[in-house]
Amino acid sequence: MTHSDITPLAHQSQALLAAVRHDAPLVQCLTNFVSMNYAANAVLAIGASPAMVHAEEEAPEFARFAGAVVINIGTLSSPWLRSMLLTAQSAVESGTPWVLDPVAHHATAFRRDAIQRLLDLEPAIIRGNASEIIALAGGHSAGKGVDARDAVAQAEQSAHDIAARRRTVVAVTGEVDYVTDGTRAVRIAGGSPLMPRVTATGCALSAVVGAFAAVAKDDAYAAAVAALSCFGLAGERAAAHADGPGSFAWRFLDALAALDADCLTRESPLR
């Protein structure tokens, strides 16, 4: 992107961060057992309100008044899948934006079937690592379980193809993030090599993407860019003082909470 393209997008990201903190949107997370606590804390740190509501008996109803819904298939089971499908359908019917995190969707037949059924319910944003996105587009990835073994640059065409075909926004995260809606695209620098060494950092990002989607219902692309920009800056700041993954984990939450009024324009990570 050129400087003239990046500057308005950076200002938009800044405005969306202010909106999240002013509105404190309710973000419903149907996420995995491993990530629940850290994801909830990340949503709180950015200024939104997490609701870890996943039971089939109430999750679809909850989606009707949530600001956004985030569905993460990390610890998938048949009861969770039923609830996810019903909740995504409820979100679509209610006009609630929902975010899909296709964790290790290519690992087993159960997951491959589940992700196709969820994709058919039209997520506003898909957030995954490079290996997940390559596999989602039908390519051969080097991913192993939940771990990415492919570079983000290798997934850019796959992301573009999915976004254009599914009419959604795809955010690929890694060493340099990539976001596209099939027409527009941007790369986002920042972060830290310590991030993949902390369990649930990516899952927490998907939850934070939901917070931004809740305040940018008409522009999922801008929501994804703003969320990833915040994560990139917070990751850089936390890593500067961390001694390892343990201290990075809590420093990162502090850094998210401490993002100041003009950081996304003054220190824009957009490329």
Per-residue pLDDT reduced to its tens digit, 203-262: 999 999 999 999 998 999 999 999 999 999 999 999 999 999 999 999 999 999 999 979
Q: What is the rounded distance in angstroms from the CA atom of residue 55 to the CA atom of residue 67?
A: 18
Q: Note the pLDDT tens digit of each residue in 38-61.
A: 999 999 999 999 999 999 999 999
Residues spanned by the domain of 72: 6-267
Task: Determine the 3-state secondary structure of 173 from DSSP.
Answer: strand
What is the residue type of 114?
A
pLDDT at 4 over 90: no
| Annotated binding-site members for ATP | 127, 173
1 pLDDT band (50/70/90 cuts)?
low
Q: pTM score, two decimals?
A: 0.94
Q: Is 142 within a domain?
A: yes
Q: How far apart are CA 208 and CA 204, in angstroms?
A: 6
What pLDDT does residue 62 have? 98
83: its two tokens:
């609830």
249 within some domain:
yes
- Binding annotation for substrate: 52, 200
Q: What is the pLDDT of residue 149?
A: 66
Got the DSSP string for 27-49? EEEE--TTTHHHHHHHHHHHT-E
Please give the annotated binding residues, written as ranges.
52, 127, 173, 200
State yes or no: pLDDT of 2 exceeds 60. Answer: no
Whole-number Å distance between alpha carbons of 38 and 201: 8
The predicted pLDDT at position 150 comes to: 78
Find the CATH number of the domain harbouring 117: 3.40.1190.20
CB neighbour list of residue 3: distance below 8 Å, 6 or more residues apart: none
Q: How many Å apart are CA 23 and CA 190, to the nearest integer? A: 26
Total structural domains in the chain? 1
Q: What are the pLDDT digits (tens) for 142-159?
A: 555 555 567 999 999 999
Assigned domain for 100 exists: yes
Q: Is residue 121 part of a domain?
A: yes
Q: Would 1 be classed as within a structural domain?
A: no
Q: How does pLDDT run across 172-200, given as a tens digit for each residue?
A: 999 999 999 999 999 999 999 999 999 99
| 92 within some domain | yes
Inside any domain, residue 134: yes
